[in-house]
Structure 1
């Protein structure tokens, strides 16, 4: 399987600057706390879902000869999730029938122009305001204009009217994979992915924090350094650290003995920050390592391959995570997730081609909060 360009984890070594400076829980800028929106809440992923949105990859220019194989992966993920909750697949009109055949009758495929499969980033982030669901359009710009996104930039304004969901345009540029929340007012985010001129030129971290609080209804923003310029997302938090409950997070960790790189250093920095931080309710964090598989034991290959289990997806009654072919590591990751989600099934899914493009199951799914669709 050949490396893809552009891809979700293409090394962009021509871009200046790899940011791993020590960052911590933010001391709010002037007036930042006062901007927290009243009656607005961003829920946690483990809360009830009405449905899961996904997108059918459309562009041969992105996936080249791997397009048929990544479509097989996406269909496999959709079918697995559809065993537990309603799945809606967005597909270009001319590709809808093929997508429906691949996904099966338990998945609803609707005609809506998309470019690529990364629904986590292109579908609006959902918040609740006074009991109603609102879609926050984050002005997707192809992760800083690194990939074609003409149709993906319009997903918010095209999708939400189909479901009667109000759309609100955010005052900043970001992606859904940028955010991780406990549903109780705490937001984790990497500075590299949003305090970045390719998304929010001229905006300071304090300004962005104030806008996040006002837009998402969060109370406490905890800033992690991330890694600037080495992958197309500039290091989304959903491949680094994830909540399993308020005050409890799983942190991506490399195999012991592997040479230190910017990714492992960003994980070390995140662990240090979380070890000192308090959440929005004043709790300390329990940080649990979620070890990666051994790169010599996995099926995947290529410089862009993302072998992290932290990009799991929590659906109604189930948790979906990748299995990479390192049986010991796969079983260990499944065991850790069972400990943290004891009332849910833990479902491993093979996603080798998705991972080769720099993403995972969480990147390819987007949950809509609400009562489950029958």
Structure 2
């Protein structure tokens, strides 16, 4: 679900979550190329629904329980253990609701424990709630609604009959108004600062496998309408080398309006994803926000892939793919002790009032995803 410009890749092809053939490709669910409406209000204001920045208080975190051996052949148990660990850790700080299929709900409850609420009324195909879940919006006056991004299996690369309905079903469960955006995409493909500025990769959204015949300008309007924003900072990204076509949320993140973080590779790394990460840093550094403020961009050093625990060539080692929950930052660690400690120190400086939790989620990482990829926040209205 949704990543990943910082993963080490060895050659061309679909590398992120290389279980695609086992999972089965589908031609169903063609990308929606709906007509895009112009926004009348270019700058978000109080009373306008918009997606807040992720460090706001949350009512709960939404997650999804994987149970497909076709998607995770020989690895399902380990991935389930990592999902349960993430859920239990977040549940120390805020409520967690896990969506599970009826046949696997009992196992989810057993592995997640009593602090996590497991429901079986919203069936799922996989665990990538960031991409399949609703994007919640607030209006500054206690209002809450949700938007769906028309998830289509990352361009019909994976079956998604259940996941395509997750966003709408969660919104109905919560009891909030729901609309579908005028684009096809995923939550991990778009970062927001909550004050009018978005960032995304062209490779993931300006792509005929999601939005055929839709121009970049049309996509900007649709994204801004959905998120309550007025400006998009685009990165070129990397086409066709991972299932997400290079999601932004494993490389670049907003810290605050006008402030961002980019995970940068070691100087010795020069694959397509390393080059893309450096370009993202340069692009952000030369950009301004919707309000015209120059961007303040900091670097987060990625680990040395020769020193991490995993030897899987598709492994995602992204510190930037952290998740903010109430009073905590949930991040990953990969076994490169120096880099892990430096990442913790950086997160401590950025979020001094939050506890930093670093988790070993190596089994999930072999699927090309991280903690942000499997979570979706519901902000306090």
Q: TM-score, normalised by structure 2?
A: 0.88
1:74: Cα distance to partner?
0.2
Query: Alignment partner for residue 291 of structure 1, among 286, 301, 306?
Result: 301
- Does residue 204 of structure 1 match 2:203? no
* Structure 2 equivalent of residue 245 of structure 1: 256
Describe how 1:29-68 pairs up with structure 2 within 5 A: 39-68=48-77
- Does residue 263 of structure 1 match 2:273? yes
Q: Deviations over 1:280-303 (max 9, x none)?
A: 122111211111111111111222
Query: Alignment partner for residue 82 of structure 2, among 62, 73, 82?
Result: 73
Q: TM-score, normalised by structure 1?
A: 0.89
Q: 1:30 to 1:105 in 2, by over 3 A?
A: closer
* Structure 2 equivalent of residue 274 of structure 1: 284
* Structure 2 equivalent of residue 339 of structure 1: 349
* Structure 1 equivalent of residue 315 of structure 2: 305
Q: 1:89 to 1:30 in 2, by over 3 A?
A: closer
- Does residue 319 of structure 1 match 2:335? no
Provide the secondary structure at the position in 1 that maps to 2:53: coil
Provide the secondary structure at the position in 2 that maps to 1:98: helix
Q: 1:9 to 1:291 in 2, by over 3 A?
A: farther
Verify the 8 A CA contact 2:316 2:368 in the aligned structure 1.
yes
Provide the secondary structure at the position in 2 that maps to 1:61: coil
Q: Deviations over 1:343-371 (max 9, x none)?
A: 10111011101110000000010000116
1:10: Cα distance to partner?
3.8
Structure 2 residue runs of 5 or longer lacking an equivalent are 1-8, 21-35
Number of residues of Structure 1 aligned to a counterpart in Structure 2: 351
1:137: Cα distance to partner?
0.9
Which runs of at least 4 in structure 1 moved beyond 3 Å after TM superposition?
5-12, 29-38
- Does residue 89 of structure 1 match 2:98? yes
C-alpha distance in structure 2 between counterparts of 1:49 and 1:7, whole Å: 33
C-alpha distance in structure 2 between counterparts of 1:51 and 1:369, whole Å: 7
- Does residue 119 of structure 1 match 2:120? no
CA RMSD of aligned residues (A): 2.1
* Structure 1 equivalent of residue 236 of structure 2: 225
C-alpha distance in structure 2 between counterparts of 1:94 and 1:314, whole Å: 31
C-alpha distance in structure 1 between counterparts of 2:110 and 2:39, whole Å: 49
Verify the 8 A CA contact 2:198 2:231 in the aligned structure 1.
yes
Verify the 8 A CA contact 2:327 2:354 in the aligned structure 1.
yes
Structure 1 residue runs of 5 or longer lacking an equivalent are 13-28
Provide the secondary structure at the position in 1 that maps to 2:164: helix
1:261: Cα distance to partner?
1.0
C-alpha distance in structure 1 between counterparts of 2:289 and 2:39, whole Å: 16
C-alpha distance in structure 2 between counterparts of 1:62 and 1:6, whole Å: 15
